[in-house]
A = this chain, B = another copy of it.
Amino acid sequence: MKVNLMHGAGGEVMGELLGVLTKFTHNNAGGIGLESLDDGAVIPIGDQKIVFTTDSHVVHPIFFPGGDIGRIAVSGTINDLAMMGGRPIALSCGMVIEEGFEVADLERIVSSMDGALGEVGASIVTGDTKVLEKGSLDGIVINTAGIGVAEKVVRDNGLLPGDVIIASGTIGDHGIAIMAHREGFDLGEQIRSDVAPLWGMVKLALAAGEIHAMKDPTRGGFANAINEMARKSGVHVEIEEEALPIRTNVRSAAAMLGIDPLEVANEGKAIMGVAAEDAEAILAALRSHPYGQDAAVIGRVTEGRDVVMKTKIGGERYIEPPVGDPVPRVC
């Protein structure tokens, strides 16, 4: 069997490959390990809960409306830490660069990474760089790993019947921005990626009430994230289509591209399941932050399984995890 593009798409097919890549007998350092396939691991060290995560970034093109590979590389890892309740402290940066890459572009990328770090008070403390012969790599790959500290660890599998589902903002912006930009749509310039480091926003939400489960809807989009949360928690989730925040231009471009905006990556959003009595306070906390101003209650959790969307016209349809991401090299 050979690896194919769908294996890297974050959807159902990826499970095949994950079966191979998680065959480590040494997969846990005493807390939450590889076997849980959460946004990151937790390692107890001394009296601290260290959160640890990694992401390799291959987004193409490297500069796009609303961001660049550097901002994604930092935000992606900070957000994985934040989704576990981890305050981001230190990141590593491993770059693999194709011979002939413009040093001026590297400077832009580094500056963009530095800006994202500054927003949340984290630092790149260690790094590594390799250069490959021209033709051996298309451009640049940036891996970041990150260390955070969690006062209280939040999982993606903690949804409880009665919980309220909150989205921290509009869905689909990043994936559709990349795709529209690649296709050269005129409205491409208007659709901007949402890529952003979310710790500042998440910190406010954590202080405002009880968050039972949290996940950032990156590869595979909202459809994948909410299904993973429901499946791992063993609950049913009901989403109100009317309540789901989607920008008008994202909706239009998605229709033109024939892509479901629920299935494409977001890079600056969180999906949370929160205690019903805390929902208003958490929503207010999210909306008080620039990255959470479009936050909305989008559904609720009951006993059962699967994720269903109540449509605007009064019908119901399943939200399925996508088979694969329709947009390759999106992050």
**A positions within 8 Å CB-CB of B:** 1-5, 7-9, 14, 17-18, 20-29, 31-34, 40-41, 43, 45-48, 50, 52-58, 89-90, 92-104, 106-107, 110-111, 113-114, 117-118, 121-133, 135-138, 141, 143, 145, 147, 149, 328-329
Taking a contact as CB atoms closer than 8 A, the residue among B33, B40, B56, B127 that contacts A34 in the complex is B127
> Which residues from chain B contact A135 at a C-beta distance below 8 Å?
138
Tell me the smallest distance from the CB of A224 to a CB of chain B, in Å. 15
Tell me the smallest distance from the CB of A58 to a CB of chain B, in Å. 5
A-B contact pairs, 5 of them (CB 8 A): A1-B104, A32-B125, A52-B90, A54-B128, A56-B143
Q: A20-B107, A29-B123, A100-B2 are in contact. Are A7 and B45 (CB under 8 A)?
A: no
Whether B132 and A329, one on each chain, are in contact in the complex, defined by CB atoms closer than 8 angstroms, is: yes
Q: Which 6 A-B pairs have the closest CB atoms?
A: A8-B131, A145-B145, A54-B92, A41-B125, A143-B143, A136-B138
Whether A56 and B94, one on each chain, are in contact in the complex, defined by CB atoms closer than 8 angstroms, is: yes
CA separation between A243 and B27, bound complex, in Å? Answer: 41
Give the dominant DSSP class at A's interface: mixed
Whether A114 and B54, one on each chain, are in contact in the complex, defined by CB atoms closer than 8 angstroms, is: no
CA separation between A251 and B17, bound complex, in Å? Answer: 42
Taking a contact as CB atoms closer than 8 A, the residue among B8, B58, B94, B99 that contacts A4 in the complex is B99
Whether B136 and A106, one on each chain, are in contact in the complex, defined by CB atoms closer than 8 angstroms, is: no
CA separation between A89 and B41, bound complex, in Å? Answer: 12
Whether B103 and A17, one on each chain, are in contact in the complex, defined by CB atoms closer than 8 angstroms, is: yes
> Which residues from chain B contact A122 at a C-beta distance below 8 Å?
26, 29
> Which residues from chain B contact A18 at a C-beta distance below 8 Å?
129
Tell me the smallest distance from the CB of A47 to a CB of chain B, in Å. 6
